[in-house]
């Protein structure tokens, strides 16, 4: 394990002017991360069909980012790079491999805080290597090393976990299958930590990583009956099948229901998805209630975000392995001292921006490995924006760009077949009408392609979309989670 003082020696102090401005600052940090939680599956986002009272209350207490994105991934398990990007501020194209191993050359937010004397705590999902986990966290609860749980005990989701091991060994003999539903289990551990004397006396970084609402769709009984499928409206962009090969139509997520998609099956899936979201919301409520009862809420910077979105029937798709809005956009809420209350911003942001934001908010040293942009200017003035466009990547065969004027371009090259889509999100937020074949938009497509190439370069994407053979070949396949 690396010696912590060495970390400090490797850090570069941020010279950002905004980092030095005087705002009220918290002492502690709580990050709650959901899994496969699309931006729209939230009452505060305007969805009247799903019940999320605790997250809605959190949104009212803080600043909600309505255009937050996962930058993407190069394979089906998008949550692997997403979680690495959250904790390191790194861009997806600069993570080694698929992001499942975080080398010590990439200094994470928990490592910075640990070197500063923080108690760094984790419970829940960990989809990276054990060595990086050991570097980042000084303590923890039950840890799940993997991508998803599977049904046990009467068809319900129960995790196979290890209790946090300070040695970082995690001997197989210590692994156990819990008889407690995953979100309840992880919330219980977080509550135990937040109720402890240590949490009240030592600054902490508490990271609670849920596996919900990731499939399998097995919410506890109360929540499995909460939504009646017959009353669930089909998405406005529902299709029985995707209109062309997007490069990953056979990834694991897309095999959960048969094609063509049956409307009733999709409604049932959405009902169970919402049930899992509402159950997770209840656990978030328990955690936030404990934070308040422990006298810690007024001195804690809170982040709630999702690792990536999900289609659940939109565009004939089920998973996150695509570049439509439902899969690249995520919920994201900041709350705490100095954060505006009951405000929303539609400025473009990435999950990678969370680490530099916390670094600047707490006036911490910034590692040179951090590439995201601080959102502290937005916290200080929600009308400000740190980006004028947003770039996204999926696989080696699809890229997208979205600009402030509302246009969005997606380009694909799958087995030698190039496909372009152009949408005007201001009048077509569900990406239903593809404008790419209309002569009036030829110049717009050229402009968007140039912008895409610029943003690809800025995000260290070395793919050349001008070459006829860029993209996926028949020998390339993805894997899901």
CATH number of the domain bearing residue 420? 3.30.1120.10
Residue 393: strand pairing partners: 72, 399
User: What local confidence, expressed as pLDDT, does residue 80 receive?
Assistant: 96
**Total-model pTM:** 0.94
Does 433 lie in the same domain as 330?
no
Residue 234 lies in a domain: yes
Long-range contact set of residues 2-5: C-beta below 8 Å, sequence gap at least 24:
2/104, 2/135, 4/111, 4/114, 4/115, 5/115
Residue 467 lies in a domain: no
Residues 322 and 423 in one domain: no
pLDDT score, position 476: 61
What's the whole-number average pLDDT of the chain?
Answer: 93
Residue 358 contacts residue 379 (beta carbons within 8 Å): no
What average pLDDT score do residues 434-447 get?
A: 98
Q: For position 474, what pLDDT does the model report?
A: 66
Domain termination site, one of 387, 407, 423: 387
Asked whether residue 5 carries a pLDDT value surpassing 70, the answer given is: no
Question: How is residue 195 written in tokens?
Answer: 């109720």
Task: Identify the weakest region by mean pLDDT among 81-85, 215-219, 314-318, 391-395.
Answer: 215-219
- Would residue 283 count as lying in a domain? yes
Residues 333 and 208 in one domain: yes
Mean pLDDT, range 121-135, rounded to an integer? 96
Is 481 a member of any domain? Answer: no
Q: Residue 32 in 3-state DSSP?
A: strand
Percent of the chain clearing pLDDT 90 (strictly above):
88
Whether 311 and 269 map to the same domain: the answer is yes
Q: Which of 364, 387, 410 is the last residue of a domain?
A: 387
Confidence band (pLDDT; 50, 70, 90) for 10? very low
Q: Does one domain contain both 110 and 195? A: yes
pLDDT tens string 288-309: 999 999 999 999 999 999 999 9
- 471 domain residue, yes or no: no
Give the pLDDT of residue 21: 57
Residue matched to tokens 């995790």 = 159
Average pLDDT over residues 14-41: 80
Three state DSSP letters for 144-155: EECCCCCEECCC
Distance of CA 320 to the CA centre of its chain: 11
Q: Reduce the DSSP state of residue 69 to 3 states and report it.
A: strand
Question: Once rounded to an integer, what is the mean pLDDT over residues 309-325?
Answer: 98
Number of domains in the chain: 2
What pLDDT is attached to residue 440? Answer: 98
Domain of residue 56 covers 11-387
Reported as a single tens digit per residue, the pLDDT across 253-277 is 999 999 999 999 999 999 999 999 9
Paired tokens of 145: 């090393």
CATH of the domain at 324: 3.40.720.10
- Could you tell me if residue 32 is inside a domain? yes
Model confidence band, residue 157 (pLDDT cutoffs 50, 70, 90): low
The answer on 320 and 424 residing in a single domain is: no
Q: Are 300 and 448 within one domain?
A: no
Contact 364, 90 (CB under 8 A): no
Range in 84-93, 146-155, 198-207, 283-292 with the lowest mean pLDDT: 146-155
pLDDT tier at 17, thresholds 50, 70, 90? very low
pLDDT interval class at 3 (50, 70, 90) = very low
- Return the pLDDT at 98: 84
């Amino acid at each position: 394990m690396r010696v912590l003082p060495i970390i400090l020696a490797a850090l570069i102090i941020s010279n950002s002017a905004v980092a030095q401005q005087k705002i009220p600052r918290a002492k502690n940090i709580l990050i709650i991360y959901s899994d496969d939680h699309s931006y729209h599956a939230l009452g505060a986002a305007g969805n009247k069909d799903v019940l999320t009272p605790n997250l809605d209350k959190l949104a009212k207490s803080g600043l909600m980012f309505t255009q937050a994105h996962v930058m993407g991934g190069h394979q089906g398990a998008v949550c692997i790079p997403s979680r690495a990007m959250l904790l390191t501020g790194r861009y997806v194209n600069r993570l080694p491999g698929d992001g499942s191993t975080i080398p010590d050359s990439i200094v994470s937010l928990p490592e910075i805080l640990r070197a500063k004397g923080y108690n760094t705590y984790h419970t829940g999902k960990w989809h990276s290597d054990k060595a990086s986990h050991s570097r980042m966290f000084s303590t923890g609860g039950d840890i799940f090393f993997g991508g998803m749980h599977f049904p046990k005990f009467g068809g319900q989701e129960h995790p196979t976990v290890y209790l946090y091991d300070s040695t970082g060994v995690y001997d197989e003999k210590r692994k156990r299958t819990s008889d407690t539903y995953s979100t309840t289990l992880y919330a219980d551990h977080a509550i135990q930590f937040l109720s402890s004397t240590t949490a009240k006396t030592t600054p902490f970084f508490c990271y609670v990583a849920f596996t919900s609402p990731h499939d399998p769709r097995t919410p506890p009984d109360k929540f499995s009956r909460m939504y009646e499928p017959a009353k669930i409206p089909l998405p406005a962009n529902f299709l029985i099948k995707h209109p062309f090969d997007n490069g990953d139509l056979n990834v694991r997520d897309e095999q959960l229901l048969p094609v063509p998609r049956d409307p009733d099956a999709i409604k049932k899936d959405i009902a169970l998805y919402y049930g899992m979201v509402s159950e997770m919301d209840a656990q978030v409520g328990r955690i936030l209630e404990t934070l308040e009862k422990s006298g810690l809420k007024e001195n804690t910077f809170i982040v709630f975000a999702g690792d990536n979105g999900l289609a659940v029937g939109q565009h004939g798709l089920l998973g996150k392995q695509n570049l439509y809005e439902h899969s690249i956009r995520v919920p994201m809420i900041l709350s705490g001292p100095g954060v505006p209350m009951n405000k929303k911003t539609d400025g473009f942001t990435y999950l990678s921006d969370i680490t530099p934001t916390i670094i600047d908010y707490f006036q911490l040293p910034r590692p040179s490995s951090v590439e995201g942009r601080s959102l502290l200017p937005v916290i200080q003035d929600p009308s400000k924006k740190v980006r004028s466009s947003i770039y996204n990547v999926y696989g080696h065969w699809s890229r997208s760009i979205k600009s402030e004027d509302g246009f969005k371009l997606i380009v694909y090259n799958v087995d030698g077949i190039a496909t372009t889509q152009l949408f005007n999100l201001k009048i077509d937020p569900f990406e239903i009408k593809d404008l790419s074949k209309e002569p009036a938009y030829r110049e717009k497509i050229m402009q968007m392609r140039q912008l895409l190439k610029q943003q690809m370069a800025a995000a260290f994407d070395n793919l050349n979309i001008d070459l006829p053979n860029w993209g996926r070949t028949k020998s390339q396949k993805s894997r899901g989670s």
